[in-house]
Amino acid sequence: MSDYVLEARNIIKTFPGVKAVDDVSLEVKKGEIMGLIGENGAGKSTILRVMNGLYKHGTYKGKIYVNGNEVKFSSPHDALLKGIGFVPQEINVMDDLTVAENIFVGHLSSDKSSFTSPNVLSKRAADFLKKNKINLVPQMRVRMLSIGQKQLLMIARALSWNPNVLILDEPTTALSNEDVDNLFHIVRDLKERGTSIVFVTHKLEEIVSLTDSVTILRDGKKISTYQKKEYNTNKIVTDMVGREISNMYPKRRTNIGEEILRVEGLTVEHPRIQNRNLIEDIEFNLNKGEVLGIAGLVGSGRSETLGAIFGQLHHKKGKIYIDKKEVSISNTGDAIKNGIAMVTEDRKNDGLLMLANIKQNIVLSNLKKIIKALRIKKSLEEEVANSYMKKLKIKATNAQTMVVNLSGGNQQKVVLAKALNSEPRILMLDEPTKGIDVGSKNEIYNLINDLVEMGISIIMVSSELPELLAMCDRFVVLAGGKVTGQLDKREATQEAIMLKCCL
Amino acid sequence: MNTNIKRPIKGFVSAIKRILAVQEVTVLIPLLVLVGIVTAINPVFVDPGNLRALARMFSAWGLLAIGETFIILIGEIDISVGSMVSFATMFLAYMIAMLGLPLYLAIILTIALTVALSLINGLCIVKLKIHAFITTIAMLNICRGAARVLSFARSIKIYGLEGTEGFSRFGMAEPLGTNWAFVIFIALIIVGQFVLRKTSYGRKIYATGDNKNVAKIAGINIDRVKISTFVISGVMVALTAILLLAKQGTANPNFGQGWELMIIAATAIGGISLVGGSGSMIGTLIGVVLFATISNILILLEVNQHMQSVLTGIIMVLSVIIDIRRRNKLLGNAA
């Protein structure tokens, strides 16, 4: 009777003070890949939680239909039994169990018996993985898997319930390009076998290359839906942001000066495996006023290189020169004293003090600045925080706002403000635009340009090659913990860099 | 005309809300309620004599709670302080009574001893990465044993020995109608509150307890900050041992038994988050007072003494639940 396998009709979900989802309807056809795109805070996660039963029936307004029949989910498990599979954004697997156990957790035993044996389970998992063309070894301990493999494992776990609809919430955030290709392959195969997919992402390229239709949310409302033949990236971006971004990657005046940083033979040992190095003989330099891009796949040693320069990781060998003088950096305090600051990749785990407000976060990197006669001067603290809030256009009521209440983009700006407050000459940015929306990305790019014009030199790591290519003056490519190539702006293309990444 | 009436009421309500938003107040309310009820049942409770007794009661271990507050704020725990007091008291008495060392020298050596022991705790946790619980449970056993080895499991008396008269007088003095331990406790609570709230060292402690990665990236030497909290605790142990011996005149190897749990319970009741990063010295003060009040009340109400232990456990769990709910409410907004 119904064309749709899953339908959400006129969903309204309010939280104290905000309407997170305002009268949104979504329809998923059988065997289609539906894209769902929107900035942070657009209401994507909220509507997903309604559709997968995390917000149970009665806590929102509106109706959910599966195959034309109204359903009232009481929990994610209930939704799963009614054919809605969900793969959350964060990796959530049991590291000490095997792949097979992870896949079938929740229905480990067959219907006939309440016992299960590892061999039977492995056999079941092997058949299941083969059917779904997922390349994982059932007996393997999950701890040994890469992030990409864990992502596939989570998909396998959801698929083991034979869902009609599989919802993937930003599944590619942590994946390397290779893993993304692999994932797309699996998703297309599922589609062919009749499973519908809801694919949530920030990335336009993924929408264009993978999905059959796309729905755009903004500020809790549905803005538009396009079919594949109507796709127009400019239109999609405009709908997402609510304004046109004419200049996604802004240009800057470059004025590259003398060498400010050089590393030679930088080597960091693997913390657990003997005779293995995380990075080996890393060598490159950075000039004043330059943005140096570090490219490489996940696990190629990009973050470790930054960590070693910043004194987070102990380097067994190697030298670091600043202004052509050798410096000794054995902890982060040394690095900051030498004018280096860092913005890490993982905002949730090492970006912000979540129990503190904006002010307390920003001043942390330079407490000396606000101390008068041994005590913290409130007025100075306020002044420092306010100046950065203004400079970086941080949107919040005031400096006393708790950082947990900020959007992803604004949180990232607070992280940046904290780094800048130590008044660095060299700023290292590890995936500075990960998980933030297009509008905020554009603001971060503009900010990078402003900083460079102020004379700060930048080292930037990013998995998004278009972003890296557009923003950097020069590139160092890493693979397997070693430098495999250095390219200047003229030579650098996505292909040229990828080629070196896979060396 | 209506608005004129409403406005002060509104102001009053918002003032109440603001006051209630301060974390410590949530602890203060049950304390006040408790005091009210007990005073109604047994007016002796607010008798100055009883209040002084109360002050003496908790000042014995209150100093340790100050040191423990620093350690818990940073996200660690130390359960060895009770037995370290026992060892330190015994050590001090031994040096005075058995070795005949002059008092000042014995005191200096005692401080050196407890600081060294706490430093070992800190180093094991930070450098060797042994869990704080394991490290300090080992230290608990070492100190308890060492106190007994030193005295062949007997008490050592120093009262009446030549050269200790001043020391004993100090222990029995009643400044402000209480004792020196109480005065020092209150003074150090104030100092502690200042250090935590107004100095960069305090900021470093909160930052490390909240998220040590963030603290590290901000250039804070988190190892040093962590170890320093143990050193502070070590100094508190020495102070407690000195005050205890001065007052009692005798060192007993059973001193401080079970104190560690009372201290941790008091800090938890005072709203110091047992996972680190939030709480204050005023919270600790309230926690210690509340804890002591409960014991005092139970005595006044002639409740079985062992019941105190049961009630303490219940209150401790309740306070931890309150802390977790508060944290979830705060961090839950992030999703």
Question: pTM to 2 decimals?
Answer: 0.78
Single out the residue of A15, A93, A13 nearest to residue A58, CA to CA: A13
In Å, the largest CA–CA distance within chain A is 77
CA B85 and chain centroid, separation: 13
Q: Give me the pLDDT at residue A146, please.
A: 81
When pLDDT is cut at 50, 70 and 90, the band that residue B3 belongs to is very low
Give the tokens for residue B2.
């209506």
State pLDDT tens for residues B117-138. 999 999 999 999 999 999 999 9
Any bridge partners for residue A4, and if so which?
A29
Overall average pLDDT of the A242-263 stretch: 82
Digit-coded pLDDT (tens) for A435-462: 777 788 888 899 999 999 988 999 999 9
Taking residue A480's Cβ as centre, other Cβ atoms within 10 Å add up to 16
The tens digit of pLDDT for each residue in A80-95 reads 999 999 998 878 899 8
Query: pLDDT band at residue B335, thresholds of 50, 70 and 90?
Result: very low
Annotate B200-266 with DSSP letters as a single string. Answer: HHHHHHHHHHH-HHHHHHTT--HHHHHHHHHHHHHHHHHHHHHHHHHHHSEE-TTTTTTHHHHHHHH
Q: Where are the domains of chain A?
A: 4-91+163-241, 259-501
Crossing angle of helices B180-198 and B222-248, rounded to 10°: 170
* Average confidence (pLDDT) over A121-137: 89
The candidate with the shortest Cα–Cα distance to A12, out of A220, A219, A163, is A220
pLDDT reading at B334 higher than 50? no
User: Which has the higher per-residue pLDDT, B27 or A34?
Assistant: A34
Q: Over 90: is that where the pLDDT of B172 sits?
A: no
Is B101 within 8 Å of B95 (Cβ atoms)? Answer: yes
Q: Which residues of A touch B (CB under 8 A)?
A: 45, 310, 312, 331-333, 335-337, 342, 344, 349-356, 360, 363-365, 367-368, 371, 374-376, 402, 404-405, 418, 422
Structure tokens at A287: 């000039």
> Which of chain A's residues have a Cβ under 8 Å away from the Cβ of B327?
355
Residues A422-442 have a mean pLDDT of: 87
Smallest Cα distance from B204 to chain A, Å: 8
Q: Both ends of chain B: CA-CA distance in Å? A: 45
Biggest alpha carbon–alpha carbon distance for chain B: 82
Out of A390-399, A480-489, B191-200, give the one with best mean pLDDT: B191-200
Query: What percent of chain B lies above the pLDDT cut of 90?
Result: 45
Query: A163-185, pLDDT tens digit by residue?
Result: 999 999 888 877 777 888 888 99
Q: Do A376 and B214 touch (CB under 8 A)?
A: no
Please give the average per-residue pLDDT across A240-266, as a whole number. 83
* B217 at interface of A, judged by CB pairs closer than 8 A: yes
| Shortest distance, CA B23 to any CA of chain A (angstroms) | 13
Residue to substitute from A359, A367, A378, A410, interface B, most B β-carbons within 10 A: A367
Cβ contact, residue pair A367, B203, below 8 Å: yes
- Encoding tokens for residue A271? 């913390």
Closest listed residue to residue A52, CA positions, set A91, A13, A28, A79: A79
The residue with tokens 């797309």 is A184
Q: What are phi and psi of B315, to 5 degrees?
A: -65, -40
Q: Please return the burial class of B218, using the count of CB atoms within 10 Å of its CB with bins 0-12, 13-18 and 19+.
A: buried
B200, A364: Cβ pair inside 8 Å?
A: no
Tokens of A451: 């900083």
**Chosen CATH of A4-91+163-241 out of 3.10.510.20, 3.40.50.300, 3.40.50.720, 3.30.70.2860:** 3.40.50.300
Distance between CA atoms of residues A462 and A173, nearest Å: 12
Residue of chain A whose alpha carbon sits nearest to that of B204: A364
Determine whether the interchain pair B218/A344 forms a contact, defined as Cβ–Cβ distance below 8 Å.
Answer: no
**What was the pLDDT predicted at A299?**
75
Give the three-class secondary structure for A376: strand
DSSP-derived secondary structure letter, A141? B
pLDDT averaged over every residue in chain A:
88
CB B268 within 8 A of CB B5: no
B325–chain A nearest CA distance, Å: 14
pLDDT value at residue B325: 80
Tokens of A247: 């200049």
Of A45, A353, A375, the CB nearest to B214: A353
Its CATH class, for the domain covering B24-326, is mainly alpha
Query: B211 vs chain A: nearest CA distance in angstroms?
Result: 6
Q: What is the rounded average pLDDT of the residues A333-349?
A: 90
Q: Look at residue A268 and tell me whether its pLDDT is greater than 90.
A: yes
Q: Which residue has the tokens 């860099």?
A: A497
CB A253 within 8 A of CB A451: no
| Residue A93: C-alpha distances to residues A118, A166, A254, A419 (Å) | 18, 18, 46, 33
The predicted model gives B56-77 an average pLDDT of 90
| Alpha carbons B239 and B193: distance in angstroms, whole number | 19
Reply yes or no on whether the pLDDT at A304 is more than 60.
Answer: yes
Distance from CA of B205 to the nearest CA of A (A): 11
Q: Rounded CA gap, A70 and A165, in Å?
A: 15
* Residue B5 confidence (pLDDT) above 70: no
If you search the block for the tokens 């987070």, which residue do you land on? A312
Token pair of B266, please? 């008091």
User: Does A354 sit within 8 Å of B210, measured CB to CB?
Assistant: yes
Q: What is the spatial distance between Cα A219 and Cα B215, in angstroms, rounded to a whole number?
A: 34
A232 to chain B, closest Cα gap in Å: 31
pLDDT for the residue B22: 61
Q: How far apart are CA A301 and CA A297, in angstroms?
A: 8
Rounded Cα gap, residues A392 and A421, in angstroms: 12
Backbone angles phi, psi at B100, to 5 degrees: 65, 30
A259-501 maps to which CATH number?
3.40.50.300
Task: Tell me if B61 sits within 8 A of B211, measured CB to CB.
Answer: no
Q: What is the dihedral of CA A38, A44, A45, A51, to 10 degrees?
A: -160
Q: What is the mean pLDDT of residues B253-259?
A: 87
Contact A66, A164 (CB under 8 A): yes
pLDDT band at B9 (very low <50, low <70, confident <90, very high): low
Q: Is B220 on the interface with A (CB under 8 A)?
A: yes
B236: tokens are: 């508190």
Q: What is the pLDDT of residues A178-224, one digit of tens each?
A: 888 888 999 999 999 899 999 998 778 888 889 999 999 888 889 99
Partners of residue B278 in chain A, C-beta under 8 Å? 355
Instruction: Check residue B23 and give its pLDDT.
Output: 61
User: Looking at residues A383-391, what average pLDDT do you find?
Assistant: 93
Higher pLDDT, B51 or A211: A211
- A360 contacts on B by Cβ (under 8 Å): 203, 206
* Contact residues on chain A for B213, CB-CB shorter than 8 A: 344, 349-350
Supply the mean pLDDT for chain B: 86
State mean pLDDT over A25-49. 87
Taking contacts as CB-CB distances below 8 angstroms, the residues of chain A near B75 are: none
Which residue intervals of chain B are DSSP H helices? Answer: 2-21, 25-41, 48-73, 81-97, 103-126, 132-151, 165-172, 180-198, 200-210, 212-217, 222-248, 259-269, 281-300, 305-332
| A332 within 8 A of A311, measured Cβ to Cβ | yes
- In chain A, the N- to C-terminal Cα span, in Å, equals 54
What gap in Å lies between CA B257 and CA B236, rounded to an integer?
16
Nearest CB among A45, A355, A365 relative to B219 is that of A365
Contact B214/A45, CB-based, under 8 Å? no
Kindly tell me the burial class for residue A17, based on how many C-beta atoms sit within 10 Å of its own C-beta (0-12, 13-18, 19 or more): exposed
Which of B199, B327, B335 lies closest to A375 in CB terms? B199
pLDDT beyond 60 at A313: yes
3-state secondary structure of A37: strand
**Residue A226: per-residue pLDDT:** 92
Chain B: closest CA distance from residue A401 (Å): 12
Q: Which residue from B207, B221, B331 is facing A364, i.e. has the nearest CB? A: B207
CA distance A418 to chain B (A): 8
Confidence of residue B42 (pLDDT cuts 50, 70, 90): confident
Residue with more model confidence, B44 or A165: A165
Chain centroid to Cα B194, Å, comes to: 16
Token duo for residue A441: 């990305």
Provide ipTM, 2 decimals: 0.81
